[in-house]
Amino acid sequence: MEGVLPHRAAQLLRDARRVVVFTGAGISAESGVPTFRDDLSGLWARFDAQRLATAEAFHTDPDLVWGWYEWRRTRVLRAEPNSGHLAIATIEARAPSTTVITQNVDDLHERAGTRAAIHLHGSLFTPRCVAAAGHPATLPDPPDGDVARPHEGGRIPPPRCASCGLLVRPGVVWFGEALPEAALTAAVEAAAASDVLLTVGTSGVVYPAAEIPRIAARSGAAVIQVNPEPTPLDRVSAVNLRGPAAQVLPALVAAAWKETDKT
């Protein structure tokens, strides 16, 4: 974090009536969750992540794709929410109205205490049937032995839907697929109605999700960006806080409500 945390960011957050927190891969990377294109190591290193993350790949080799996503899921289960995730849960508890929107497919916000994050790109923990209706499916957590020894390079047959017998697929948004309509609509409405949008750890280049902070700015909200590096969102941000989320967000929360806590 460069210099002293700007007083303006704390004041904006403290005075806001409707807050949106919009997160990307950067905050999860601070918990040890690799970004999507970095999440190919060991025996998976010979594959192209972008080619695995398609409906066509699943149709061609469902065991391979399911095995990779189960490997990713077990890695996420071993990760822990960091202080940035915990600070976001604190914002949700302190601010009058807070909506958390994430591009991440992990469950770290929920495990940190966030009540109902909007997952724009789906989740590794919400598998669904391949049927057109895409109804949800329930999977048990892997046994402890599997979490300790992820399936590196192993093909794993996907389960069958208990309702219709079709294959169960990962509940993430693949390349070539539209974002979940209900999630996108809720995110756009929350951004447009916000007073402050806090964008954390996102590059601002993956569309249509990257439009969310810009919608907030066009609607009159103050955008506060938390990112170690400059991004295209610098131009629409009222305040840019340089540094990792795990350091910046707890400091921002402490500064925003320190006066309230003294009364």
Domain boundaries, the chain: 7-262
Does 151 participate in catalysis according to the annotation? no
Q: Which residues sit in the known binding site for substrate?
A: 69, 72
pLDDT digits (tens, 9 = 90+) for 66-100: 998 988 898 899 999 999 999 999 999 999 899 99
Retrieve residue 164's tokens: 């219709």
CB within 8 A of 253, min separation 6: which ones?
13, 87, 90, 91, 94
Instruction: Give the pLDDT band of residue 131 (cuts 50, 70, 90).
Output: confident
pLDDT digits (tens, 9 = 90+) for 147-162: 434 444 578 999 888 8
Q: For residue 250, count other CB atoms closer than 10 A to its CB.
A: 16
pLDDT digits (tens, 9 = 90+) for 164-201: 888 999 999 999 999 999 999 999 999 999 999 999 99
Instruction: Give the pLDDT band of residue 40 (cuts 50, 70, 90).
Output: low
Evaluate if residue 262 carries a pLDDT over 50: no
Instruction: Give the pLDDT band of residue 52 (cuts 50, 70, 90).
Output: confident
Q: Which residues sit in the known binding site?
A: 69, 72, 103-106, 129, 161, 201-203, 227-229, 245
User: Which pLDDT score is estimated for 145?
Assistant: 46
Q: Are 225 and 232 in contact (CB under 8 A)?
A: no
Q: Which residues sit in the known binding site for NAD(+)?
A: 103-106, 201-203, 227-229, 245
| % of the chain exceeding 70 in pLDDT | 85
Q: Are 49 and 215 in contact (CB under 8 A)?
A: no
User: Which pLDDT score is estimated for 173?
Assistant: 95
List, in sequence order, the alpha helices (H) in the chain.
7-15, 25-29, 49-52, 55-60, 62-78, 83-94, 108-112, 144-148, 181-193, 211-218, 245-262
CATH number of this structure's domain 7-262? 3.40.50.1220
User: Which pLDDT score is estimated for 43?
Assistant: 55
Question: What average pLDDT is seen over the chain?
Answer: 88
User: Which pLDDT score is estimated for 242?
Assistant: 95
Instruction: Give the pLDDT band of residue 37 (cuts 50, 70, 90).
Output: low
Please, which residues bridge with residue 30 across strands?
none
Whole-angstrom Cα distance, residue 235 to residue 67? 41
Q: Which of 109, 121, 135, 151 is catalytic?
A: 121
